[in-house]
Amino acid sequence: MTTQVPGRLPVAEPADVRRAAVRLVRADGRAFTAVLLLNVLAAGAGLAGPWLLGRIIDHVRAGGGVGAVDRMALAIVVCALAQLLLERWARYVGHRFGERTLARVREKFVDRALGLPASVVERAGTGDLTTRGTADVATVGTTLRDVGPEFLVCVVQALFVLVAVFALDPLLGAVGVLTLTPIWWALRWYLRRARDGYLAEGAATSEVAEILAATASGARTVEAFRLSGQRVAASRDALDTSRRTRLYTLFLRSVFFPAVEVSYILPVAGVLLVGGVLHARGAVSLGAVVAAALYLRQFTEPLDQILMHVEQLQSSGASFARVEGLVRAPRSAPAGSPASAPSPADDRIDVTGVRYAYERGGEVLRGVDLTVRPGERLAVVGPSGAGKTTLSRLLAGVDAPTAGSVTVGGVPVAGLEPERLRRQVVLVTQEHHVFLGTVRDNLRIADPTATDEQVWSALAAVGADTWVRDLPDALDTELGTSAHRTDGSQAQQLALARVVLADPHTLILDEATALLDPTTARHTERALAAVLQDRTVIAIAHRLHTAHDADRVAVMEDGRLTELGTHDDLVASKGAYAALWHTWHGNGNGNGTAPSGGERRP
């Protein structure tokens, strides 16, 4: 079970978090056992001091000699030193355990994030995913590295102290436990509210990050359409919500901790009062009363640390729930192992009765039927808003149709296991990313086994080999904001070179060459078609020379497929495509619309 808000990534339930924590402990069970054992030994050594001090008091009252007192005093020093060394060793082992476990959490998070369908990330927003991968993972890491080992030490010490008080005198032990009741009620009040409070705080932080990221990435659009006032208002609303959630968790802490601090004195005062009465009646020795009071005074320190860490654990638990919630995010692939997922019989793509509507909009596709044969070059054209990009997303398995089916080799594209989908269909848009690292690293993402010769061939196929050879270190040149910066066209060429190395069965180009000049774009598209011979290429054509070079052309209008055929046949039919073609050439008859993003041929 998970907690899910529509459009957002899910949050794991407490039971899921506990199971995940158990798996992490089992993954490094020997280290965890060593931490527990060292903490037990340290806590046992810490118990010797108050007990020996009580023995010294009783020994002196009985008229004993100095020699026995000296020996017991030396034993107290030795035990204190042993406790110090054991605690430091336990923390060292605990920190190493925490770092290894944190590495597992980070690696698992990255694996799960990369396995998410693009549509899920888009609906949730990159701010939420970024916050989970940074702030939430860092909070979990702090707990594993620092809070976790310290919490174990304190829990073991507190338990041993209570056992020691009961061993001295059961009645004094009962008094000590009963006087802890106010702390129990304060803790119960806090725990009932803390998880929801910290989850709300995390969600509000994600919303702030999402708004800032969206505003920064779309800064030019915001400026062009004068949307700065709206973005500022949205940021203020998100910050106001974040402030309220933080003030609520602050309120919880401001009530919880003072109540606990006041309650610390009650166990010691109760034992001294009851112990004094029992000693006056001869029911218990003075040394036992002093030792019990010292134990309960000693109990205050680990208890204080435990309660401090409870607050941190609540925050960390909420963060861990958000990190672990990724495992419950919707997947495009069916449940089960990759081996059990269906395999496409061939590369034939069938679109049957497809309809699609976005969550916050009307229907975009209305009953589209289309068959793309293996090895075919298909161009999809039409005016802006016709549904071309939406169709490309369905063909690539990014989204699943609202009605109808999109299959490859008889298998629903959106149901393919992610790795198989990436080998089967690759969607390339004009939004490209250059990763930090060398040119070689950026390309080998598509095929880690690629040789330098294959890398150069891929670059040559998209016309990027010339400028890469001119770089200071060629393939070894570092890319990024602090190194060599690539412009938009170079970034597009690197992305297309990755496609060549990936060698998918079907390539979908949606404005993938929009940032290139028309001549370079046409050369690149033809080179890709030659390199990916016998592969299916589907191009969303905003420049009609792409349609001219294609085997068939599909015309989209108002979410419907209205024309399908070769370039020459469609021009001869004098329909919508012919109007687009003549308009693009500059001799349109006025009843056609130029394609979005296109330009007239000179």
The pLDDT score that the predictor gives to residue 337 is 43
Of 149, 533, 171, nearest to 376 by C-alpha is: 533
Per-residue model confidence as pLDDT tens digits over 309-363: 776 777 777 788 888 877 777 665 444 444 455 677 777 888 888 888 876 667 7
For 144, which DSSP code?
A: I
Three-state DSSP state, 477 = coil
Q: Which residues contact 405 (CB under 8 A, 6 or more apart)?
A: 350, 351, 352, 353, 354, 412
For 511, which DSSP code?
A: S
Per-residue model confidence as pLDDT tens digits over 48-59: 777 777 777 776
For all residues of the chain together, what is the average pLDDT? 76
The pLDDT score that the predictor gives to residue 332 is 52
Of 158, 165, 162, nearest to 289 by C-alpha is: 165
Torsion of CA 327, 330, 333, 336, to 10 degrees: 50
Q: Output 569-577 pairs: Cβ under 8 A, ≥24 positions apart.
A: 576/382, 577/381, 577/547, 577/553
The pLDDT score that the predictor gives to residue 585 is 65
CB atoms within 10 A of CB 65: 9
Q: Which residues contact 547 (CB under 8 A, 6 or more apart)?
A: 379, 381, 541, 553, 567, 577, 581
Q: What is the percent of the chain where pLDDT is above 70?
A: 84
The pLDDT score that the predictor gives to residue 596 is 41
- Which tokens belong to 252? 């919880």
With tokens 């095929």, the residue in question is 447
**Which residues of the chain are under the pLDDT cut of 70?**
1-8, 59, 118-119, 122-127, 146, 148-149, 311, 330-342, 359-361, 418-419, 430-432, 511-533, 542-543, 584-602
- In Å, what is the CA distance from 460 to each residue of 87, 493, 510, 539? 62, 10, 21, 21
- The string of DSSP codes covering 275-320 is HHHHHHTTSS-HHHHHHHHHHHHHHHHHHHHHHHHHHHHHHHHHHH
Of 358, 332, 368, nearest to 559 by C-alpha is: 368
Model pTM? 0.57
- In Å, what is the CA distance from 293 to each residue of 56, 107, 157, 267, 307? 15, 48, 16, 8, 21
- In Å, what is the CA distance from 461 to each residue of 467, 500, 501? 13, 8, 10
The pLDDT score that the predictor gives to residue 1 is 42
